[in-house]
């Protein structure tokens, strides 16, 4: 069994960039990074960092399948969101994923950042002008345009800090001994 497994779904490469940064930040040689499409239940670890691109506020079915299959693991989520750089939105994205996590896991937190989207999305926004009006579409396009610069160096640094923070939440063997001494 590995100490750490970084599993991700990435359609445009944004989430893969974050996955790579988390993988490199992990302190152990007992680690692996794989695309969720390669995860088939044969890869196992004590701690999972699960990443995904956010589509309509949530993760893909293959990520949900992975999350629901985990038991007695340390689990952290990460990902990229094209529609905005908003902490409240990131919290809602996190809560949409944590509902799938069985209660016998130790949840270590999440990290989400803005990511770029394909130009076809910008074109779809433009086509919404007659329905939504100029100001609403202009806001959506501004968010889209900002996202084209992400993930950036600051996003990657924050992913690195998140990784360190998450692994510090994992109890050590000494912590377990202390707990058992009480009983």
What does the pLDDT look like over 16-74, one tens digit per residue?
999 999 999 999 889 999 999 988 777 899 999 999 999 888 899 999 999 999 999 99
Grade residue 118 by pLDDT with cuts at 50, 70 and 90.
confident
Confidence (pTM): 0.86
Does the pLDDT value for residue 101 go beyond 80? Answer: yes
3-class secondary structure for the chain?
CEEEEEEECCCCCHHHHHHHHHHHHCCCCCEEEEEHHHCCCCCCEEEEEEEEECECCECCHHHHHHHHHCCCCEEEEEEEECCCCCHHHHHHHHHHHHCCCCCCCEEEEEEEEECCCCHHHHHHHHHCHHHHCHHHHHHHHHHHHHHCCCCCHHHHHHHHHHHHHHHHCCCCHHHHHHHHHHC
| Residue 99 phi, psi dihedral angles, 5° rounding | -65, -25
What does the pLDDT look like over 129-147, one tens digit per residue?
888 989 998 988 888 888 8
| Residue 79 phi, psi dihedral angles, 5° rounding | 175, 180
Cβ-based neighbours of 91, under 8 Å, separated by 6 or more: none
Closest C-alpha among 44, 23, 12, 35 to residue 117: 12
Does the pLDDT value for residue 175 go beyond 70? Answer: no
Give the chain's mean pLDDT: 89
Residue-range domains of the chain with CATH: 2-115+150-171 (3.40.50.360), 117-149 (no CATH)
pLDDT at 180: 43
């Amino acid at each position: 069994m590995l100490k750490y497994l970084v599993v991700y779904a990435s359609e445009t490469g944004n989430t893969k960039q974050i996955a790579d940064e988390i993988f490199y930040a992990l302190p152990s040689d007992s680690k692996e990074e794989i695309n969720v499409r390669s995860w088939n239940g044969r890869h196992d670890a004590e701690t999972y960092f699960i990443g995904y691109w956010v589509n309509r506020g949530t993760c893909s079915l293959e990520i949900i399948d992975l999350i629901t299959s985990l038991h007695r693991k340390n689990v952290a989520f990460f990902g990229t969101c094209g529609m905005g750089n908003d902490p409240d939105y990131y919290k809602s994205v996190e809560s949409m994923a944590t509902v799938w996590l069985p209660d016998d896991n130790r949840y270590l937190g999440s990290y989400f950042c803005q990511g770029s989207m394909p130009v076809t999305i910008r074109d779809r926004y433009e086509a919404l002008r007659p329905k939504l009006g100029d100001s609403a579409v202009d806001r959506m396009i501004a968010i889209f345009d900002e996202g084209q610069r992400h993930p950036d160096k600051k996003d990657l640094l924050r992913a690195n800090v998140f990784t360190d923070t998450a692994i510090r939440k994992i109890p050590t063997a000494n912590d377990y001994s202390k707990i058992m001494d009480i009983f």
